[in-house]
Amino acid sequence: MSSWNSVVGLQLLMSVSNPFMKTKTIVLLLFALIILPRLNAQKVFKEGYVLLSESDTVFGKIEDRNYNYNSLNCNFYAADSNSLITYTPQDIFGYRFDNGKFYISKTFELDGKDTTLFMEYLINAELDFYFVQTKGLDNRYFVSTDSTPLKELKYSKHIVTIDGQLVEKESKAYAHLLSYLTGQKAEFEEDIQNINQPTHKKLIRFGEEYNKAVCPGGICIVYEKQVKIKMLLEVSAGVKLVALHASDYENPVGSFFGVSFLFNNPRFSERGYFGIGFIKESDLELITEKNTTYHNFMIPVSYGYISPAKGLSPCFSVGLNIRSVEKMVINSLTFTPGLKYDVGNIFVKLYAEFEMASILIIPVGYYSTNFGMSINFKLNNHYNSN
C-alpha cells in the first residue's frame, strides 16, 4: 500500500464483506435499540403538587420527563408516601412543579381528532396560551379566551415552485385567529405578524402586552418555567483500540485527549445536548510504510442524552467524527453509552465509544472501540440538577 488513501479505501471495501465486522455492526445496532429507550426513561422527580380538582391540592414529588410524556402521564409520590400513583388527563384537573411548569387537563381537537391531554399552561390573561408537544417532537400552540374554546395557532413552512425555482413560503394561519380574538384592532396587527413562528417567549410577551393594553391591572399570570440554554465544557481522555485491520499498524492501541462544548435547547429537549469539539489522537505508524507516521485529529459532532439527576445515572450520545488524517478528510459514526456521577456544578463521566467507519453517514464497518473518562463543567448556573 503506497498511501493512506489506499489503506482507507481497502479497509472500507473489505469491512463490508467481512462477516465478523457485519456481526459487530448488527450487535451494536441491536444494543442501541434496546438501551436508548431505557436511558431516555431515567426518572427525575421534582417538588410539586397535583390538583385532583380545581380546588383539591395534594403536595409531593412529580416525575419530570420530556414534554410529550408529561402531556400523557403524571407520576406522583404524595408527601410522606412511598406509593407511586400514575394519573392520566382523565383522572385529575392538572399538576404543577414548584415555580415551574403548570399542566392542565384539556379536551381539544388535534389533527382532526378530539384529544385529552395535559397541556402546559403558559399564561393566564385576556388571552390564555397553551403548549403541547407531539410524539414526533412537533411543538403545537393553542389559545383560548373566556368566551372562545381552545384553538390551535397554526404555522407552517413549505416549498413551492415559482417560475421554475423552489421558494420557501410561510403560512401564518395563527395570525387570522389572533386578529379575530383581539378585535382586529390595528395597533396589534404588526405585533401579530412579527410573531412569525410561535414560541413560548413570543406568545407570553404578546399576551402580556395585550393584557396591559386592554385590561390594565387585570389578571396576568405567567406559569412558564424560566429556562435558559445550558452549556457544558467537557475535557476528555482515554484509550483507543483500532479494530479495522489492526495488523496494518505498528501499534493499534493509542490514546486520545480533547475538549468539547455541549449546549442544550430546552424547548427541543431538556435532557438533549448538541456537542462539538476537538480531539487529538496519538500518532499511527503503518507497518506497510516504514518510517511513516500519521498525525491524527478529529472534530466530533454529537447529540446525546444527559440526565439532570444528581449522583449516578446513565448517559449516551450518537455522533459524526470529521477526521483529518494527514491531508485527507474522512469520517466515522459513533455510539457512546456511559455512566456519569453528578456532584453539582461538575460531573465525571466514564464511557465506551463504538466507532463505525463510514462513507458520509452510511456505516460500512466496525472501526474502533474507545474507552474514556471526562470531566464536565457546567458553565452557567441554569443547569437544574433537582
Q: What pLDDT is stored for residue 5 in this prediction?
A: 39
Domains contained in the chain, number: 2
Helix segments in 138-285, DSSP class H: 173-181, 186-194, 200-214
Three-state SS at 190: helix
Residues 247 and 291 reside in one and the same domain: yes
Q: Where are the alpha helices (DSSP H) in 41-77?
A: 67-72
Provide the pLDDT for residue 12. Answer: 40
Residue ending a domain, choose from 191, 222, 253 = 222
pLDDT of residue 267: 64
Residue 172 — φ and ψ, nearest 5°? -105, 65
384 inside domain: no
Same domain membership, residue 98 and residue 65: yes
If asked whether residues 214 and 242 sit together in one domain, one would say no
Please check whether residues 197 and 313 belong to one and the same domain.
Answer: no
Instruction: Extract the residue ranges of the chain whose pLDDT is less than 70.
Output: 1-42, 224-227, 243-249, 267-268, 284-295, 324-329, 381-386
Residue 385 forms part of a structural domain: no
Q: What is the DSSP string of 7-40?
A: HHHHHHHHHHH-HHHHHHHHHHHHHHHHHHHHHH
Q: Which of 171, 206, 222 is the last residue of a domain?
A: 222
* pLDDT at site 20: 45
Confidence at residue 139, expressed as pLDDT on a 0 to 100 scale: 92
Structure confidence by residue, pLDDT tens digits, 233-274:
999 999 988 766 666 667 778 889 999 999 887 766 778 899
In a domain, 209, yes or no: yes
Contact 238, 275 (CB under 8 A): no
- The residue out of 222, 237, 268 marking a domain boundary is 222
What is the spatial distance between Cα 343 and Cα 43, in angstroms, rounded to a whole number?
17
Q: Can you give the pLDDT at residue 245?
A: 61
| Burial state string for 261-281 with b = 16 or more CB within 10 A and e = fewer than 16 | ebebebeebbbbbbbebebeb
Query: Which of these, 78, 50, 76, 72, lies nearest to 63 by C-alpha position?
Result: 76
Q: Three cell numbers at 22?
A: 457485519
105, 197: one domain: yes
Angle in degrees, CA 332, 333, 335, rounded to 5: 140
Range of the domain at 31: 4-40+228-378
Question: Do 245 and 282 have their domain in common?
Answer: yes
**Domain-located, residue 386:** no
The pLDDT score that the predictor gives to residue 249 is 66
Same domain, 301 and 260: yes
- What is the grid cell recorded at 7? 489503506
Residues 199 and 119 in one domain: yes
pLDDT for the residue 349: 95
**CATH number for 336:** 2.40.160.20
Alpha helices for the chain (secondary structure H): 4-17, 19-40, 67-72, 173-181, 186-194, 200-214
Same domain, 258 and 216: no
Give the distance from CA 254 to its chain's centroid. 32
Same domain, 252 and 350: yes
Query: How are beta strands 165-171 and 272-281 bridged, if at all?
Result: unpaired
Q: Are residues 213 and 241 in the same domain?
A: no
The pTM score is 0.62
Residues 104 and 240 in one domain: no
Compute the distance between CA of residue 123 and CA of residue 200 in angstroms, rounded to an integer: 10
